[in-house]
Amino acid sequence: MILTVTLNTALDITYRVRGLRPHASHRVQEVTERPGGKGLNVARVLAALGHEVTVTGFAGGATGREVRERLTAVPGVADALVPVSGTTRRTIAVVDERTGDTTQLNEPGPVITPAEWSAFQEVYGGLLAGARAVALCGSLPPGVPVGAYAGLIRAARAAGVPVLLDTSGEPLRRGVAARPDLIKPNAGELAELTGSHEPLRAAQDARRRGARSVVASLGADGLLATTPEGRWRAAPPARVHGNPTGAGDSAVAGLLSGLVERLPWPDRLARATALSAATVLAPVAGEFDRAAYGELLGRVAVTAEATAA
């Protein structure tokens, strides 16, 4: 199985309105709710690709119960979330149907106690024994040490399990130093990590800091990969318009599935790019349009970057 870790799980709520205007009342046209947080989004896409997935992290309160109940309806996804006394957060996405723009509101998450963090680490260590790969995804809830991902990476490496890290800020900086197999920052997160706003230079710097491979999301321009095997850019055939929520998580699912299937890097990047674009086109945040994915996959352009002198 593939293991995804979401320390700050959420109940994702999406509102669709005809037009979003500040200081105005709005009539919501449609409401959708589903389990969320980056790792849960990744797990849902991995399951849709045919992989068995286990999710872990924290869940608590009425929102946490709702998340766990809804997870039971996702085929191929096993729930190994750790209960906590606090209440799982909600994230609110408001989609403006007129412009296609999305406004996101993210709650901070529950405060995790030292005992709850210890309980999670014990569960995580047990799950690694049956994992083919692990993805560590998203923000840290209050109370979790800022170096948490670094410790989880070291545990995965000790167990011989490939590990992907998708986070930002100080947790990313400390996590990279623990030498993950792959990180997937966006351009802004990569610039914050390295101080460079030139993506290729920044990706190379991130590898020097400890990441074995770096795949940077460049938004509508696709992905840039810097790996021990080479460097590539992958771009969708055309710019897509829609709700980008979850597009990066779908890219992570594409990369992780390609890793466990031992696909060549260009094929991994094509899959990740097509999944990301198909997620933007989906009507519900964090899902992907399967018909669009099949059509896009064969049209993604993957080109090799010249080797530095």
Q: Show which residues are catalytic.
A: 249
**Could you give the CA distance from residue 131 to residue 3 in angstroms, rounded to a whole number?**
6
Q: Which two tokens stand for residue 12?
A: 């994702």
CB under 8 Å to 162, separation ≥6 — which residues? 132, 133, 134, 156, 181, 182, 259
Q: Which residues contact 176 (CB under 8 A, 6 or more apart)?
A: 165, 183, 193, 206, 209, 210, 211
Read out DSSP for 91-142? EEEEEETTT--EEEEE---PPPPHHHHHHHHHHHHHHHTT-SEEEEESPPPT
- Tokens found for residue 65: 């119960």
Q: Comparing C-alpha atoms, which of 52, 58, 86 is closest to residue 148?
A: 58
Cα angle value 136/139/143 (rounded, 5°): 105
Phi/psi at 137 (nearest 5 deg)?
Answer: -130, 135
- The whole-angstrom separation of Cα 80 and Cα 122 is 12
Amino acid in position 35:
P
d(CA 128, CA 261): 18
Tokens found for residue 283: 């009507």
Q: Which two tokens stand for residue 118?
A: 């210890």
